[in-house]
Amino acid sequence: MIQAASPTESARARGPSSDGPVESAESDRPALLKLENISKHFGGVKALQNVRFDIMPGEVLCLAGENGCGKSTIIKVISGVYQPEPGAVMRMDGQSIEGLDPARARELGIQVIWQDLALFPEMTVAENIAFEQNLGSRPRFVDYSRMRDAASRILERLGVSIDLGRSVRSLSIAQRQIVAIARALVADARLVFMDEPTASLSHAETEALLKIVRRLSSDGIAVVFVSHRLAEVLDVCTRVTVFRDGKYVGTFPTAGMTQTRLTELMTGRTFDYEVRKTDLSAAPVVLDVKGLSRAGEYSSVDFRIRKGEILGLTGRLGAGRTEIALSLFGMTRPTAGAVTLEGRALSLGSNRDAIRAGIAYVSEDRLQLGLVQQQSIGDNTVSAVLDDLLDASRLISMKKRNALIRDWIQKLAVKIGKPDDAVSTLSGGNQQRIVLAKWLATNPKLLILDSPTVGVDVGARAGIFAIIHKLAAEGMAILLISDEIPEVYFNSDRILHLRDGRVVAEYVPGTTTIDQIERDVHA
């Protein structure tokens, strides 16, 4: 049985059955974009095989599938980055479009907001939004007044306010997303692809972004939404097009669709969602936190984690979840309270102290803090235990290093080419397994997981949680932090609700419904 996060099905059901695919949202309306027989090969790899689907004017369509299913490839075909194989048919407003390149795609109103956003960090908000208006075949002076006016109009249209003179580097991820959307609108977008727009956003920031997506739809702009967060997909989209292994599975109405059904369509597998049923009342306490406080971040926090227990910690943006984790890992110092690990008082001056004590921390920012993207899979795996690999001459023993890398790749079933390949070549799910391997190699007593499935698709999530459950079964104490209620509900023995830096409630999955927890957290 695979256990993974899923919301309650009754909370998501919204109408008739969605088992059958539909080919268009409204048959009496012409499609904005219609694709037929789209294939793309890279050598012997068939990234897309006879894909077909359509996009209606002003609709919000989800493009769903696991990593590697062809989502990014089809977006690059539609935006002119890739040319499809002969025989492909692409029509926009009923007119055939052939030989599409990025410039022509932009002229047609096709815009893509990639996950990295492709913004200029040192330039201002206004410059990022309206810089294309100053591009041309001949040099000319930049009209900053015109640029600011254009940026201001677009932000007003979106119903948001951002200082036009601020550098993009100083903005939050959520604000950068808005800048990227505004830039697309300045270019007269009619069809906007959003690739994982909420992967790094909190619940509150996600809600604000979805409000903007709905506003775009009401203005007649079609949005194709790519996201691994299935709850928000079902919330904001009217239809979902599913790809699997480069093939078109079907297009389905979201009315009546559930996360479980959508997961099955994406993976071709059936997942059983059950709460954990473990009695750990007699297990020894591994971590004991009493009265932990840090001015301005959290206050009077008390909890225990027993051997083999997974304690979930959830709450809204600013609740103090990550701040508590950073203190437990020695990155910040609490101003009051006490922490003991296996009965020994902890006084951590740095993360090195925490590692030596037996604490490991998987950060929510895998790309920036979890891995060194340019380094190899092997180097990332052993980066936290280099001292353990030294030989008698105080040099790294390649025999020990390679054995350790082999061992963890095998234990965690990481799909790789070669250990010397850059870790950036791996999928999100396999990158997260390498992050886990890096910290598990330290042999921790307490494993802190801060949003461990950010940017990971549903199939890979199930695999990661299977690993986490196995670690708990072997006796590891685990603190699981997430703002996705289903994630903590189906993968924790107990759940703490944090609000404004304080623990306000404790739940036991199965005795409290997921609906109740969601109502409490988002009240």
Please, what is the angle between helix 458-473 and helix 259-267, to 10°? 100
Question: How many whole angstroms separate alpha carbon 184 and alpha carbon 221?
Answer: 11
What is the model's pLDDT at position 464? Answer: 86
Domain membership of residue 22 (yes or no) is no
Percent of all residues in the chain with a pLDDT value above 90, rounded to a whole number: 51
Position with higher pLDDT, 260 vs 128: 128
The tokens of 253 are what? 């109405």
Q: Tell me the per-residue pLDDT of 286-344, one tens digit each, with 9 for 90 and over.
A: 999 999 999 999 999 999 999 999 999 998 767 899 999 999 999 999 999 999 999 99
Per-residue pLDDT, averaged over 202-221, amounts to 87
Q: Other CB atoms closer than 10 Å to residue 349's CB: what's the count?
A: 9
Q: Tell me the per-residue pLDDT of 376-423, one tens digit each, with 9 for 90 and over.
A: 999 999 888 888 888 888 888 898 899 889 988 888 888 888 898 888
Same domain, 263 and 364: no
HEC profile of 270-304? CCCCCCCCCCCCCCCEEEEEEEEEECCCEEEEEEE
What is the model's pLDDT at position 94? Answer: 93
Same domain, 246 and 315: no
Same domain, 250 and 308: no
Domain membership of residue 276 (yes or no) is no
Query: Looking at the predicted structure, is the pLDDT value of residue 242 above 90?
Result: yes
Domain membership of residue 104 (yes or no) is yes
Q: Is 427 exposed, middle or buried (0-12, 13-18, 19+ CB in 10 A)?
A: middle
| Listed range (83-87, 146-150, 229-233, 439-443) with the worst mean pLDDT | 229-233
| Listed range (32-41, 89-98, 103-112, 417-426) with the worst mean pLDDT | 417-426
Question: How many whole angstroms separate alpha carbon 301 and alpha carbon 324?
Answer: 9
Same domain, 394 and 502: yes
| Listed range (13-27, 100-114, 351-365) with the worst mean pLDDT | 13-27
Q: How confident is the model at residue 367 (pLDDT cuts 50, 70, 90)?
A: low
DSSP letter for 119, please.
-
- In whole angstroms, how large is the CA radius of gyration of the chain? 24
- The gap between the terminal CA atoms of the chain, to the nearest Å, is 34
Same domain, 50 and 96: yes
Query: Looking at the predicted structure, is the pLDDT value of residue 137 above 70?
Result: no
Question: How many whole angstroms separate alpha carbon 496 and alpha carbon 488?
Answer: 10
Q: Tell me the per-residue pLDDT of 21-72, one tens digit each, with 9 for 90 and over.
A: 654 444 457 899 999 999 999 888 889 999 998 999 999 999 998 877 899 9
Domains in the chain: how many in total? Answer: 2
What is the model's pLDDT at position 272? Answer: 65
Domain membership of residue 453 (yes or no) is yes
Query: What stretches of 370-427 show up as alpha helix (H) in DSSP?
Result: 377-382, 398-411
Where a domain ends, among 267, 298, 331? 267
Q: How wide is the angle at C-alpha 236 spanned by C-alphas 188 and 176, nearest 5°?
A: 55
Per-residue pLDDT, averaged over 136-154, amounts to 79
Same domain, 356 and 209: no
Q: Could you please report the per-residue DSSP string of 218-279? A: HTT-EEEEE-S-HHHHHHH-SEEEEEETTEEEEEEESTT--HHHHHHHHHS-----------
Query: What's 413's domain CATH number?
Result: 3.40.50.300
Percent of all residues in the chain with a pLDDT value above 70, rounded to a whole number: 90
Q: 435 is in which domain, residue-wise?
A: 285-521
Same domain, 337 and 403: yes
Question: How many whole angstroms separate alpha carbon 469 and alpha carbon 71?
Answer: 30
Same domain, 240 and 374: no
Question: How many whole angstroms separate alpha carbon 299 and alpha carbon 303?
Answer: 12
Where a domain ends, among 267, 295, 317? 267
Domain membership of residue 160 (yes or no) is no
Closest to 370 (Cα-Cα) out of 498, 200, 486:
200
Domain membership of residue 11 (yes or no) is no
Q: How confident is the model at residue 206 (pLDDT cuts 50, 70, 90)?
A: confident
Closest to 417 (Cα-Cα) out of 402, 427, 432:
427
Q: Other CB atoms closer than 10 Å to residue 191's CB: what's the count?
A: 23
Contacts of 232 (CB under 8 A, 6+ apart): 198, 206, 210
Position with higher pLDDT, 373 vs 517: 517
Q: What are the CA-CA distances from residue 420 to residues 105, 165, 322, 370, 454 (Å)?
A: 38, 44, 32, 18, 25
What is the model's pLDDT at position 22? Answer: 56
Position with higher pLDDT, 89 vs 174: 89
Q: What are the CA-CA distances from residue 95 to residues 35, 54, 98, 189, 333 (Å)?
A: 12, 14, 10, 18, 63
| Listed range (72-86, 140-154, 471-485) with the worst mean pLDDT | 140-154
pTM for the model: 0.65
Domain membership of residue 274 (yes or no) is no
Same domain, 425 and 478: yes
Q: What is the mean pLDDT of the chain?
A: 86
Positive or negative, the Cα torsion across 421, 427, 431, 436?
Answer: negative
Per-residue pLDDT, averaged over 490-506, amounts to 96
Same domain, 485 and 346: yes
3-state secondary structure of 195: strand
Same domain, 213 and 346: no
Per-residue pLDDT, averaged over 199-218, amounts to 83
417 — phi, psi (to 5°)? -85, -75
3-state class percentages of the chain: helix first, strand second, coil last, to nearest 5: 35, 25, 40
Question: How many whole angstroms separate alpha carbon 207 and alpha carbon 202?
Answer: 9
Question: How many whole angstroms separate alpha carbon 508 and alpha carbon 485?
Answer: 13
Domain membership of residue 118 (yes or no) is no
Query: Looking at the predicted structure, is the pLDDT value of residue 184 above 60?
Result: yes
Contact 51, 69 (CB under 8 A): no
Same domain, 308 and 201: no
